[in-house]
Amino acid sequence: MSCAEDERAEALARLQTRLGYRFRSPELLERALTQRSAAHESGAPASAANEALEFLGDAVVSLALAEHLVRAWPGRTEGEYSELRARVVSQEALAGVASQLDLGDLLRLGRGEEASGGRRRESLLADALEALFGAALLDGGPSAVESLFRALLAAPIRTLATGAADERRDPKSRLQELLQLGGNPPPEYEVVTAEGPDHEPRFRVVVRHGGRVLGEGSGPSRRVAERIAARTALARLAGGTSF
């Protein structure tokens, strides 16, 4: 085994320790970390890339998260569950978890993706994290998914769900109150895209004020997407952004 292979094997071992799960099939772990561009350049079949695992992982995470929310907080409304789920599985949130795991350093990328900064791209990081969940299901079944869920998502969910009361207030109301201080007009919301089948729609919304985009959000309904967009704007304002 070459020095580079030794280093990768050690890095993958550290990753599995942080995941709280050790893969029985190392090939599945490698596949979860292989982007389509790398498989294409190496002449490998499409099945060697992580797209199918990402598709599976998306469903796995959604189901595991829904079950966790209902069991842990049985008194929430459907809207609150939907908002929490949308926030936890947003591309930004998943990419943040992936970054904490240093997944970017372990991705197998094609030369073009490598050169264009693919190791830090949110979409690729989020895809890889979902692919890990899909690989875990195939490798070890539901118990493996549960291990990953506890290690990676339980804490962020707890933070979101048990935050201060003000944080749980309707973010649209909070944003409007903040922006209308001094007689300013209220924010405006616009649906940018509405995609997906009727039984599983996906809305992307932006919130504007004075012609400027303050934030955006996506979710399974316009209402949820607007709330996430408002929350994004509030976070930016809290970070010192002036509108």
Residue of 83, 113, 127, 130 with catalytic role? 130
Asked if 126 and 112 touch (Cβ cutoff 8 Å), the reply is no
Estimate to the nearest angstrom the gap between the alpha carbon of 243 and the chain centroid: 27
Q: Is 58 a catalytic residue?
A: yes
Q: How crowded is the C-beta side of 88, counted as CA atoms within 13 Å?
A: 27
Q: Are 24 and 139 in contact (CB under 8 A)?
A: yes
Q: CA dihedral defined by 61, 51, 220, 151, rounded to 10 degrees?
A: 20
Of the candidates 58, 83, 127, 139, the residue annotated as catalytic is 58
CA diameter of the chain:
69
List the one residue out of 72, 209, 75 whose CA is nearest residue 150: 72
Distances (CA, A) of 178 to 167, 172, 187, 213: 14, 10, 10, 16
**CA 139 from chain center: how many Å?**
22
Instruction: Pull the structure tokens for residue 186.
Output: 């209220």
Catalytic (active site) residue 130: yes
Contacts of 213-222 spanning 24+ positions with Cβ under 8 A: 214/175, 214/187, 214/243, 216/192, 217/86, 217/90, 218/86, 218/90, 219/82, 219/83, 219/86, 220/82, 220/86, 221/82, 222/191, 222/194
Give the residue numbers annotated as catalytic, written as ranges. Answer: 58, 130
